[in-house]
Amino acid sequence: MIQLSTTRRLVEHNFDHDGHVYHVPGEFTLSTSDVIELNGLSDVSMVPLMALEHAGHRGSALHKAVEAFESGEQPELAILNYSNEKYLNCKQDAFVNEVMERLWFYRSWRAGRNIKLAGDMELPRVYRHEGSGFLIGATIDMPVFIDGCLTILDLKTGHRNDGVKARWMP
């Protein structure tokens, strides 16, 4: 793997994966999601909490499946391991199928492109925003070289926005 270089703007921190919180001793740290929400660019208040949690698990499981696929391992096994590790309260076969469908979309997009992982997936970072001085945490989904060009991919797992997520029930 190629190591991504760091800049002096990066700040040492601890990351709580379960709470998705970036901790910098003695300083308040916003997450990228906080910045988006505070600027009125995202409102999930009408989406049931269980739907949000399920979507978060689906996204994390997709990350594991893509990483397994790109590493020549079995995506289905990565999804099952994730599901077992998180003790998900859903039908495992349905969850695996749901994530594998999203992996199919990734693989379809990837076809004809030369993709090479350029570092660890889901890499949390904290940086000091130039200009405001605020600390902002961000998690890099997938650093890759696409056809030789260093790129950061942000994998998405949703479908068209037709209101289905607001009606979702487990």
Alpha-carbon distance of 65 to 52, in angstroms, equals 20
Q: What is the pLDDT of residues 61-83, one digit of tens each?
A: 999 999 999 999 999 999 999 98
pTM over the 0.85 mark? no
Q: What is the pLDDT of residues 90-113, one digit of tens each?
A: 788 888 999 999 999 999 999 989
- Residues whose CB is less than 8 angstroms from the CB of residue 31 and which lie 6 or more positions away in sequence, other chains included: 20, 21, 22, 136, 137, 138
- Sorted by where each begins, the domain ranges of the chain are 14-167
Q: What is the pLDDT of residues 20-62, one digit of tens each?
A: 899 999 999 999 988 888 888 888 888 898 888 888 889 989 9
Alpha-carbon distance of 56 to 52, in angstroms, equals 6
Instruction: For helices 92-110 and 75-86, give the axis angle rounded to 10 degrees.
Output: 140
